[in-house]
Amino acid sequence: MTTSRTTPSTTGLSPTSPSPTSGSAAGSRAGAASRTPDDGARDRAAGLGVRDVVVRYPAPRRRAEPVAAVDGVSLDVARGEVLALLGPSGCGKSSLLRAVAGLEPLADGDVTWGGASVVDVPVHRRDFGLMFQDGQLFTHRDVAGNIAYGLAGRPRGQVAARVEHLLELVGLPGAGPRAVATLSGGERQRVALARALAPAPRLLLLDEPLSALDRSLRERLALDLRAALLATGTTALFVTHDQDEAFVVADRVAVMSAGRLLQVGPPAQLWRAPADEQVARFLGYEAFVPVADAPVALRRAVPAPDDATYALPPGALVSGAATGSADVLTGVVLAVRTRRGSPTLHVDVPGIGEVTAATRALVAPVPGAAEPAGPALAARGPMGSGMPTPGDEVSLHILREAVVVLPR
Q: Footprint of ligand ATP on this chain (CB under 6 A)?
A: 1-2, 4, 57, 67, 69, 87, 89-95, 241
CA angle, corner 191, sides to 190 and 197, nearest 5? 90
Give 23 or 92: the residue with its C-beta nearer to ligand ATP: 92
Q: What are phi and psi of 96, to 5 degrees?
A: -65, -45
* Identity of the residue, 258 or 312, whose beta carbon is nearer to ligand ATP in the bound complex: 258
Nearer to ligand ATP, 77 or 317 (CB): 77
- Residue 270 or 394 with smaller CB distance to ligand ATP: 270
**Nearest approach, Cβ of 15 to ligand ATP (angstroms)?**
24
Say how far residue 217 (Cα) sits from the centre of its chain.
16
- Taking the complex as a whole, how short is the minimal distance between the CB of residue 123 and ligand ATP, in angstroms? 16
Q: Which residues contact 221 (CB under 8 A, 6 or more apart)?
A: 186, 189, 190, 210, 213
Output the smallest distance, CB 22 to ligand ATP, in A.
21
For residues 280 and 274, the answer to whether their CB atoms sit within 8 Å is: yes
> Which CB atom, from 90 or from 284, has the smaller least distance to ligand ATP?
90
Element (H, E) at 329: strand 326-339
Q: Provide the minimum distance between the beta carbon of 37 and ligand ATP in the complex, in angstroms, as a whole number.
A: 36
Closest separation in Å from C-beta 81 to ligand ATP: 21
CB of 379 to ligand ATP, least distance (A): 39
Nearer to ligand ATP, 69 or 151 (CB): 69
Q: How far apart are the C-alpha atoms of 402 and 344, rounded to whole Å? A: 18
Whose CA is closest to 250, among 85, 100, 111, 74?
85
